[in-house]
Structure 1
Amino acid sequence: MSLRKIKRPQGDFWFDFEAFAEDEDGFWLRGPVGTPWRAPHATGSSEVPVVVLLAPGRPWAAWWVGDPADRRLEIDVCRPPERDGNGWQYVDLELDPVLHETEGRVEIEDWDEYDESVRNGWMTADDAKLARVVAEGCAQLLHQRSEPWLDRGWKMLPDS
């Protein structure tokens, strides 16, 4: 199953994941080490395992990244993901709340990309507001660690 992440103006990023679960929290995709990806500037394969949680109508996608140097849960703030013919797609809104699992630190990354997108008109005012509100809300969620799906993603992560 493909996941298409649209970054403006860079272009489309594609990941070839396996759909493996659906529950009350959404649709779960996984990519073990070696999962192919394509970007406008390169192609390759994943060096670390990942799990992704998506749901229609929800303006974020959660990525559990099994990087031994920095295990982390990254939230891609986005327009709500949509199913397409052979997978999923979403428009990235740049801001990324991240929980660095080992040290428990939460931060919101990519303010520079967000500012550039707003300044250059690649993001509407409504999308910019959505990005800020959702990023701040998701960062709080990561701090609180109260949602059961936060830990469920780690349990679903493929072995490195």
Structure 2
Amino acid sequence: MSKEKMSLVDGTCAERFSWPVEQLGQDEHGTWLGARRGNPVRQPDGRREEAQAHDAVWLVAAGAWCLPAFWFTDTTDLTIDICTPPRLDGGVWSFVDLELDLFRSADGCAGIVDQHEFDELALSGHLTDGQVAAATEAARSLLSLVQMEAEPFGGAARAWLRSLRS
């Protein structure tokens, strides 16, 4: 587990969220990462660490302002962090969480959450207008894909989750 600081375009520093994962492979959607239940997850402030509650796979698409996490539990199919494009450095994947999130519950209900936290971040001066626009557009465009269960938000992740468990 590690954390690092990165400068946002406006010069302020934000801690990057990172956690240990296994690289499962790549397909037309991007790079698939996985971690089993119990995996340590440290919050960006470094003060709190939790055990991952469920097996999960993540999808890293080159240059995307998001990180989808596929859980497929009794309550949650997926969550998506709107974030700076994830990057791999020294074997560790990391990103800066921009607070805006999407979800799809197991019953198919989908939506955007934490809009208020994102709005506060956007007004804080820590993000450029371009970063705000990129994050907002990512959330807006992803929501319709998640609702329609368009790939990779349909069944593609289930095969990667099976491979993690095997």
Unaligned ranges ≥5, structure 2: 7-11
CA distance in 2, matches of 1:47, 1:83: 24
Distance in 2 separating the partners of 1:10 and 1:78 = 12
2:119 is aligned to 115
Q: 2: distance between equivalents of 1:155 and 1:6?
A: 34
Task: Give the Cα–Cα distance (whole angstroms) in 2 for the partners of residues 97 and 5 of structure 1.
Answer: 25
Q: How far off its partner does 1:56 sit?
A: 2.0
Alignment partner of 1:53 out of 50, 59, 68: 59
Q: Quick check: 1:64 aligned with 2:70?
A: yes
Describe the SS at the equivalent of 2:116: helix
Aligned-residue RMSD, C-alpha:
2.5
Residue 87 (structure 1) aligns with: 92
Q: 2:41 corresponds to which letter in structure 1?
A: W
1:109, 1:5 → 2: CA distance? 26
| Aligned residue identity for 1:126 | G
Offset of 1:78 from its aligned partner?
1.9
Q: What TM-score results when the alignment is normalised by the length of structure 2?
A: 0.81
User: Deviations along 1:28-50, whole A, 9 cap, x unmatched?
Assistant: 11111111121223113212111
Q: Percent identity?
A: 28
Runs of 4+ aligned residues of structure 1 deviating over 4 Å after TM superposition are 2-10
2:44 is aligned with 1:44: no
